[in-house]
């Protein structure tokens, strides 16, 4: 399955979760519901995936966590905040760069219209 095919299913799942809950809940609720819906769609999903960070060929004692990793190809960064800031877009792009993944979805569920909350980020596609 390609990144674009996975992305299509992710988008459908985001709409289902948003239609069920609407805005205003904690990020953790949206992450759990989205993971459940994606699994129902037959995709493999891992939550809170730890990613190590290397600098000068040394593994640092810090890292970051991907909210959702779908089919080992697409990362999803989930937010439930007043507004997506430029730093959130940069964060998602940096996650893509550090993981070597090609596609990421930044989604903010705290919006009136979910179409405004979905942002597709690419890394050398």
Buried/exposed code over 71-85 (b: 16+ C-beta within 10 A; e: otherwise): bebbbbbbbbeeebe
pLDDT at residue 60, as a whole number: 85
List the domain range (segments joined by +) for residue 23: 3-122
Question: The domain spanning residue 88 has which CATH number?
Answer: 3.40.1350
The pTM is what? Answer: 0.93
pLDDT at residue 52, as a whole number: 85
- The total domain count for the chain is 1
Instruction: For the chain, 125 residues long, give each residue's pLDDT as a single digit of tens.
Output: 999 999 999 999 999 999 999 999 999 999 999 999 999 999 999 999 988 888 898 888 877 899 999 999 999 999 999 999 999 999 999 999 999 999 999 999 999 999 999 999 999 75
Distance CA 53, CA 49 (A): 13
């Amino acid at each position: 399955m390609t990144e674009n095919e996975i992305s299509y299913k992710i988008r459908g799942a985001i709409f289902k979760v948003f239609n069920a809950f609407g805005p205003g809940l904690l990020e953790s609720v949206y992450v759990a519901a989205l993971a459940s819906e994606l699994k129902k769609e037959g995709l493999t999903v891992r939550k809170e995936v730890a990613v190590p960070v290397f600098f000068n060929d040394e593994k640092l004692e810090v890292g970051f966590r991907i909210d959702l990793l779908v089919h080992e190809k697409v990362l999803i960064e989930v937010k439930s905040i007043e507004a997506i800031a430029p730093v959130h877009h940069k964060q998602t792009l940096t996650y893509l760069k550090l993981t070597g993944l090609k596609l990421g979805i930044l989604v903010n569920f705290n919006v009136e219209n979910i179409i405004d909350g979905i942002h597709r980020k690419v890394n050398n596609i």
